[in-house]
Amino acid sequence: MSIGRRHLVAAGAAVIGSATAAHAQQRIAITFMHYQTGTSGKILRALLDAFQAENPDVEVRDVFRQSEQITAELQAAIAARRPVDVSQVIGKNIIFHLNNLPAVQINADPAADAWLARYLPTFLDIGRVGTRIYAIPHSYGTPLVYINRDLFRQAGLDPERSPRTWDDVVEAAKQIVQRTGKGGVAQLHAANKDYGTMLMVTNAGATYLARDGMRALFDSPEGIAALQLWQDLAVRHRVMPIANDQQWTAAFQAGQLGMYITSSAALRSFVAAAEGRFELGVANYPRFGERPRRTPNSGAAVMVFAPEGPRRAASLRLLEFLSRREIANRWSRETGYMPLSVDPLADPEMARYAREFPLVQPSIAQMAETVDTDRWPAFGAIEAQTEIANMIDALWAGKGTAADLAPRTVARVNEILARANAGR
């Protein structure tokens, strides 16, 4: 090669190198805080990588934090001006985020209405304030009854007849305890026993919190009946061992518990745990008699906190990507979280999955019966939830009936909320 040609090649390489460096400098970096770990964390990263492949001008940096700490971590990061552009948030805490952090209205641009319509309307209610939407659904769990079908057989129960109502659950649990000596049933309670309490009273026809979150209302006759049932499982019928969610999960996975009511997000781990140990069954959440099923979702929504400019635009592009039916369905299939899209089975991949893996069908069926999680107000939530946790502990210890304890707890909760939010 001549000296002149070598100079031309070198110059061309320099130009290409400069262009590549310039492109790298133009790439928009956004930070996504989340609480997904294990398999779910890997799947989330795979979806973020797929978004980056479609949007090569954007880099998504994911940051893991524990679910119990994510609100405090998010608040601290934004206060310290560390960039958090997108974050999972526990649904019941959204009002806190709206009042204390720079939450972005997702539908400020009317063009967003087209892709927001991909979600079931009730699933958007968690982030809705009037006509404004500040959060989209993401990691939604729905409560299901996980069944040890082998224990059903040992107890003389028909494993093909899953319990449909709470009366069915009680009778099956009694028979399991009497004939196998194993635990009959348990229902998750989650942090501060808040979600479990909301689930019980809402499904019974009561209202847990007022729409603005400022008053607890679960001391109605329906709410008291639901709480009395929860006490009866432990105290009167003695079919529910008093424990925490981690202990119940371990007991069910070890084949020591006939039925465990917990999130659909546990499906994959329970399938793995049951393999070679017992036959797993899944059924819908029990109804109170013939009352329609109403199940608040658990889990997280996603909010945007990016400042106006390229990072915010990139963050909203990410949300649009996550809203696509095939992406949302992949997230559901591979994690166990509930499907979120209108008519998820219109996706051929999801329809095939539901046929080949029928244990997921109760979760899909329960979508239509899901109501949005009650949202706590901006201040006083933890103190109020502690009162609720104390009430449940007192019920399980037999220190009073639900008719005794629920009205007093509601009065204390409402006093806490009024004081904490006064003048705000």
Question: Each residue of 230-267: b (16+ CB within 10 Å) or e?
Answer: bbbbbbebebbbebebeebbebbbeebbbbbbbbbbbb
- What distance in Å separates the CA atoms of residue 418 and residue 424, rounded to the nearest whole number? 10
pLDDT of residue 6: 46
Would you say residue 11 has pLDDT above 90?
A: no
Rounded to 5 degrees, φ, ψ at 295 are -120, 110
Distance CA 185, CA 252 (A): 9
Mean pLDDT for 29-53 is 95
pLDDT on residue 9: 45
* Residues 96-149: tens digit of each pLDDT: 888 889 999 999 999 999 999 999 988 999 899 999 999 999 999 999 999 999
Amino acid at 205: G
Q: What is the mean pLDDT of the chain?
A: 92
Separation of alpha carbons 336 and 339, rounded Å: 9
What's the pTM value of the predicted model, to 2 decimals? 0.89
Q: Could you tell me which residue, 333 or 69, shows the higher pLDDT?
A: 333
Residues 191-200: what's their mean pLDDT? 92
pLDDT of residue 78: 86
Compute CA distances 249 → 183, 253, 262, whole Å: 12, 6, 9
* Residue 225 structure tokens: 């009946």
Q: Where in the chain is the domain with CATH 3.40.190.10?
A: 29-140+298-363, 143-296+379-421
Q: How confident is the model at residue 19 (pLDDT cuts 50, 70, 90)?
A: very low
CA distance 379 to 375: 11
- What pLDDT digit, counting tens, does each position of 293-324 carry? 999 999 899 999 999 999 999 999 999 999 99
Overall fold of domain 29-140+298-363: D-Maltodextrin-Binding Protein; domain 2 (3.40.190)
Phi/psi for 301 (5° steps) reads: -105, 180
Report the C-alpha gap between 374 and 388 in whole angstroms: 14
The superfamily CATH assigns to domain 143-296+379-421 is: Periplasmic binding protein-like II (3.40.190.10)
Query: Is the backbone of residue 283 left (phi > 0), alpha (psi -120 to 50) or beta?
Result: beta
Per residue in 170-181, pLDDT tens?
999 999 999 999
